[in-house]
Amino acid sequence: MTAVTTDPKVDKPNGVGSTGTGGARRRLPRIPDRIRQGGLPYLLLLPAVLLELLIHIIPMLIGIVMSFRQLTQFFINNWGGAPWSGLDNYRIAVDFDAPIGEALLHSFLVTCVFTFFAVGLAWLFGITAAIMLQESFRGRGFLRAVFLVPYALPVYAAVITWAFMFQRDNGLVNHVLHDQLGLTDQPSFWLIGDNSIYALIIVSVWKGWPFAFLMLMAGLQNIPRELYEAASIDGAGIWQQIRRITLPSLRPVNQVLVLVLFLWTFNDFNTPYVLFGKSAPENADLISIHIYQSSFVTWNFGSGSAMSVLLLLFLLVVTAVYLFFTSRGRKGADA
């Protein structure tokens, strides 16, 4: 960590005393030196810290307190008076042999599969498009703008349009797959039953890949062209250039990108809620909807909070492990 100079001699070239009065010279009131030396950064951080506390940390702490209470509709009017239930809510959530725990585990596994494919495909499309649009050609600006459209659209409007397109009898998807291309024997269901997970992944990838594209495109701008020219002279083909130059150079971008995409996708609420409503099909029962249902549909806020805390712990652990390994890897690469 870079050391911050705190030597008073350096900071006080005019020999101003620690009282910070400024002597007899006429000046605007000044920040006391002690604060300026050590406290100013913290003072500047204060508004952000206060807002963070107010918007995130305090509600989160309240959520944690709720998870230890038996908070149902009987106590919602005065939730501070809800009886303590100790670890009961947690016990129920992780009792995988009983229906609530079993359903939570199922939903967690569905979310893992969904996240893996949604993030993987969004990244793949993003990097492919970014590489293809790296070279200048006529219409590149237009394509870049078009590719960003899904990212710019309001989520609700976009997902509800997908919901219409996925309708079995009147939707565009079946019209193309069944009526026009004849790929299926009969029109398929996309919003209920087994296919619902595919519908969810398709919409999530459509919504998420432009962000990957944007980030990776920015990352590609920083790779010196000389590297490619030199590699080309040395006889490296396009795949070798991607493997040896592009991907290693994009590593810092990818580290952040994958983490952010993972967290957004794992917690995604809007996409399943708009596609399926408050009760998602079993195959697409993402954990965000599952927790929402436990809390706000069945009015068991204590149990829902406990599930949220478990999810929080999981995401914290995954994030910490991810950052530990990726930063260690980078250190090694830097050395």
Report the interface residues with other proteins, using CB under 8 A. Answer: 1, 52, 55-57, 59-60, 62-64, 66, 73-74, 76-81, 92, 98-100, 103, 167-169, 187, 189, 191-194, 259, 263, 267, 277-279, 281-282, 288, 291, 293, 295-301, 305, 308-309, 311-312, 315-316, 319-320, 323, 327
Nearer to other proteins, 151 or 299 (CB): 299
Of 246 and 295, CB closest to other proteins: 295
CB of 118 vs other proteins, minimal distance in Å: 16
Q: Which is nearer to other proteins, 19 or 319 (CB)?
A: 319
* Closest by Cα among 263, 306, 242 to 115: 263
- Least separation, in Å, of the C-beta of 99 and other proteins? 4
- 280 near 288, Cβ under 8 Å? no
One-letter amino acid at 46 equals L
Measured distance CA(282)–CA(106) in Å, rounded: 9
Q: Which residue carries 């829902």 as its tokens?
A: 304
Planar angle of CA 35, 39, 45, nearest 5 degrees:
135
CB of 67 to other proteins, least distance (A): 8
In terms of CB distance, is 192 or 227 closer to other proteins?
192
- Least gap, CB of 76 to other proteins (angstroms): 5
Least distance from C-beta 148 to other proteins, angstroms? Answer: 23
Q: Of 131 and 212, which CB lies nearer to other proteins in the complex structure?
A: 212
* Identity of residue 215: M
Helix H or strand E segment including 108: helix 99-132
* Residue 278, burial from CB neighbour count under 10 angstroms (0-12, 13-18, 19+): exposed
Smallest gap from residue 13 Cβ to other proteins (A): 29
Which residues are CB-neighbours of 237 under 8 A, at least 6 positions away?
none
Helix (H, G, I), strand (E, B) or coil at 177: helix
Burial of 66 (0-12, 13-18, 19+ CB in 10 A): buried
Q: Give min distance, CB of 46 to other proteins, in A.
A: 15
Task: Tell me the C-alpha distance between 16 and 8, whole Å.
Answer: 10
Q: By C-beta, is 220 or 263 nearer to other proteins?
A: 263
The nearer residue to other proteins, 204 or 305, going by C-beta atoms, is 305
